Amino acid sequence: MSTRVRPGTRQRTLDAVLLLAGILLGWTSLGAWWGADILPSPWATVQTLAEIMAAPDFARNAWETLRAFLLALAIAFVVGVTLGMLLGAHRLAGDVFEPVLMALYSIPKISLYPVILLAFGLGLPAKVAFGVIHGVVPIAIFTIGAVRNIPRTYFRTAGMLRMSPWRLGWRVLMPAALPEIVAGLRIGFSLTLLGTLIGEMFASQYGLGQMLMHAIDRNQADDIMALSLLLFAFAVAASLVLLTLDQRLRRGLRHA
Supply the range of the domain harboring residue 199: 58-255
pLDDT value, residue 178: 85
Domain count, the chain: 1
DSSP 111: G
Tell me the CA end-to-end span of the chain in Å, nearest whole number.
Answer: 26
Confirm whether 24 is domain-assigned: no
The string over 45-67, giving b where at least 16 C-beta atoms fall within 10 Å of a residue's C-beta and e elsewhere, is: beebbeebeeeeebeebbebbee
Confirm whether 16 is domain-assigned: no
Which tops the pLDDT comparison, 190 or 171? 190
Which amino acid, residue 147?
V
Q: What is the pLDDT of residues 96-151, one digit of tens each?
A: 888 888 888 888 888 888 888 888 887 888 899 999 999 999 999 999 988 888 87
Confirm whether 33 is domain-assigned: no
The mean of the pLDDT values for the chain is 85
Confirm whether 39 is domain-assigned: no
Domain CATH for 114 = 1.10.3720.10
Q: By C-alpha distance, which of 102, 87, 80, 184 is closest to 144?
A: 87
Confirm whether 8 is domain-assigned: no
Confirm whether 23 is domain-assigned: no
Indicate the range of 31-40, 93-102, 139-148, 246-255 predicted with least confidence.
246-255
Confirm whether 97 is domain-assigned: yes
pLDDT at 13 over 80: no
Confirm whether 48 is domain-assigned: no
pLDDT at 208 over 50: yes
Give yes or no for a contact between 211 and 227, defined as CB atoms under 8 angstroms apart.
yes
Which amino acid, residue 45?
T
> Which pTM value belongs to this model?
0.83
